[in-house]
Amino acid sequence: MVINMAANATEAELQHVIERVKECGFQPHLTRGTERSIVAAVGSGGARSALEALKAAPGVEDVVPIAHPFKLVSKQTRGARSSVKIGNVCIGGAEAVVIAGPCSVESRDQILSTARAVRSAGATMLRGGAYKPRTSPYDFQGLGLEALQLLSEARNETGLPVVTEVMSTEDVPLIAEHVDMLQVGARNMQNFSLLRRLARVDKPILLKRGPSASVREWLLAAEYLLSGGNCNVVLCERGIKTFETEMRNTLDLAAVALVRELSHLPVIVDPSHGTGRRELIQPVSRAALAIGADGLIIEVHPCPERALSDGAQSLNLSEFSLMMKGLTAPIRTLATTSR
Ligand code: PEP
Ligand code: MN
């Protein structure tokens, strides 16, 4: 249930409602809005009728059921859209954020030259895989710890916050120590033990949509993070499996608009994995921003033909710079964010 407090409710009235929610056997989740506060009462096993009776409590405007199973993720429990801070960068603000970098960190020179180039082209965050989820066990699996150290070095030199994928619960502490945001890859979207572990991490999470996941499943995966205590979640649409074969995946841009209706969480788009084709990155990026995406994550490599993973969908440094110039939506630059 959602308990909407009146605009003139006092702090004591709010605290009373929070206490009563606990007494009724639910967990209270408070959002202090600019005009009014909202208390979401979530959990199972509590007494719903006792919650409904809170309509009569002082300072309460109304008590309504939460319309969706993804309760804390739902826009209803929050009132307004939320934003997520990663260092100086804010995803979900007025300007879109561009995250760029190689699919995999391959060498010091590769990641540093990419970081410098994407920064001067206007990217605000750096991506780079250290632990790679590869379809074949014979493919490049990532440099692991060495890649994490190189990502830290690139962040220290350029100021770009860094995001990398975490595949296993046992890697969480090490990865969280080195990077600014942890990515849950598409293949792990429903790895519930990983989600529960990441709910206890004090770092923001980038949650990719599973290749065969419905929007509801995706938002419920995010609910694991929020209900476990991590509210700093950014969603990422990266394409789903369909009968289409000319593209690597089918990028579901309508889902971006839908998620913005259903949820308060920021949502970004990955046109690289979404299409698998570098010539489509620019038009699809423009479309993503036009439909309301809060940002983009794009694969960039100094020499895509030599990339150890995802070369065909990676832009080279000058193509990335041209792509950035072709974006018409306002883009957050590092200079703006650190002011
Ligand atoms: C990636 O970002 O390199 C990646 C493997 O993405 P996804 O999980 O969306 O396939
Ligand atoms: Mn990739």
- DSSP sequence for 30-53: EEE-SS-EEEEEE-SSS-HHHHHG
Reported as a single tens digit per residue, the pLDDT across 174-231 is 999 999 999 999 999 999 999 999 999 999 999 999 999 999 999 999 999 999 999 9
The residue whose CA is least distant from atom 10 of ligand 1 is 186
**∠ CA 265-222-132, rounded to 5°:** 110
Q: Are 176 and 142 in contact (CB under 8 A)?
A: no
Q: Which of 235, 230, 200, 196 is nearest to 215 (CA)?
A: 235
Which residue carries 């041209």 as its tokens?
322
CB-ligand 1 contact for 185 (6 Å cutoff): yes
The per-residue pLDDT for 335 is 60
In short, whether 267's Cβ falls inside 6 Å of ligand 1 is no
Q: Is 207 in the pocket of ligand 1 (CB under 6 A)?
A: no
Count other C-beta atoms under 10 Å from residue 316's C-beta. 19
Distance from Cα 282 to the centre of ligand 1, integer Å: 19
Mutate to test the pocket of ligand 1, among 208, 248, 275, 301 (most ligand atoms within 8 A of CB): 208
Query: In whole angstroms, what is the distance from residue 264 CA to residue 31 CA?
Result: 12
- Amino acid 121 reads A
Report yes or no: 252 and 269 within 8 Å, Cβ to Cβ.
no
Q: Which atom of ligand 1 is nearest to the CA of 185?
A: 8
Name which of 24-33, 101-110, 330-339 the model is least confident about. 330-339
- Closest-CA residue, ligand 1 atom 6, reads 185
Q: Which atom of ligand 1 is nearest to the CA of 209?
A: 9
- The model's pTM: 0.95
Atom number of ligand 1 nearest to Cα 310: 3
**Å from CA of 204 to ligand 1 middle:** 17
Give distance in angstroms: CA of 322 to centre of ligand 2.
21
Q: What angle do CA 237, 108, 188 make, to 5 degrees?
A: 30
pLDDT digit string, tens, across residues 244-293:
999 999 999 999 999 999 999 999 999 999 999 999 999 999 999 999 99
From the CA of 83, how far away is ligand 2's center (Å)? 25
Backbone angles phi, psi at 86, to 5 degrees: -125, 95
Average pLDDT over residues 71-90: 94
Are 262 and 66 contacting, i.e. CB atoms less than 8 angstroms apart?
Answer: no
Task: Report DSSP state, residue 143.
Answer: -
Q: Which residues, in sequence order, are bridge partners of residue 315?
A: 300
Q: Report whether 1 contacts 66 (CB < 8 A).
A: yes
Residues with CB under 5 A from ligand 2 (ion): 103, 310
pLDDT over 90 at 148, yes or no: yes
- Using CA atoms, how far residue 311 sits from 10, 315, 336, in Å, is 58, 8, 31
Give distance in angstroms: CA of 299 to centre of ligand 2: 7
- Cβ of residue 283 lying under 6 Å from some atom of ligand 1: no
Beta bridge partners of 250: 240
Residues 6+ apart with CB under 8 A from 24: 41, 46, 47, 50, 51
**Strand 27-32 versus strand 37-42 pairing type:** antiparallel
